[in-house]
Amino acid sequence: MNQKNGFPTVPLKDVPAAIPENGKGTYRPVVLVVDDESVIADTLAEILTRSGYKGVAEYDGDSALATALLTPPEMLITDVVLPGMSGIELAITVRRIFPECKIILFSGQASTADLLATARQEGHQFTLLNKPLHPKDLLLRVSEGLKRKQGSAVAAP
């Protein structure tokens, strides 16, 4: 466990090797990661990038929304507690603009249950993961979420 931030660390050898950004015709789903702790957002985005996705890190809801408008994500992974716009408000806004975008919320604070309950009352269903989040668990959730999306697509004749 890293004494500086209290989160367990994963040896670099356990993180898959980077895949070239501009591989020949390689499809890389865009996954937008938002956390006000830049080390978390940057690390998760790097893990996703090394695992075949295009991981993009942002540190607050407003910047994430601006990035999403320029580069529409197929999945949004956001901390619930952010400065300004909450992660739940961000998720609701992104889902309104991009209805097919998959959403994963994560939090290290127990107080987020109330925010999530309010969102559910308004008809929004989001997956909530607790921090600390192990990279293997994250990659499994991302893979499962994006497979469901790809599986629902209709193949062209």
Structure tokens that stand for 10 in this block: 């994963």
DSSP letters of 40-73? HHHHHHHHHHHTTSEEEEESSHHHHHHHHHHS--
Strand partners for 75: 31, 102
Looking at residues 84-112, what average pLDDT do you find? Answer: 86
Strand order in the sheet with 102-107: 54-58, 30-34, 75-79, 102-107, 127-130
Check residue 137 and give its pLDDT. 86
For the record, the structure tokens of 139 come out as 């990659």
pLDDT, residue 112, reads 60
For residues 3 and 102, the model is more confident at 102
Q: Which is more confident, 137 or 117?
A: 137
Closest CA to 45 of 35, 33, 36: 33
pLDDT recorded at residue 5:
59
Over the chain, what is the mean pLDDT?
Answer: 79
Ramachandran assignment for 126, one of left (phi > 0), alpha (psi -120 to 50 degrees), beta (any other): beta
| Residue showing tokens 């308004």 | 122
Assign domain 26-148 to a CATH class.
alpha beta
Binning pLDDT at 50, 70 and 90, where does residue 71 land? very high
Helices 112-121 and 87-97 pack at an angle, to 10 degrees, of 30
Q: What is the pLDDT of residues 18-68, one digit of tens each?
A: 555 555 557 889 999 999 999 999 999 999 999 999 999 999 999 999 999
How high is the pLDDT of residue 12?
63
Residue 107 clears pLDDT 90, i.e. is over it: no
Tokens of residue 85, six digits = 């716009």
Q: How confident is the model at residue 76 (pLDDT cuts 50, 70, 90)?
A: very high
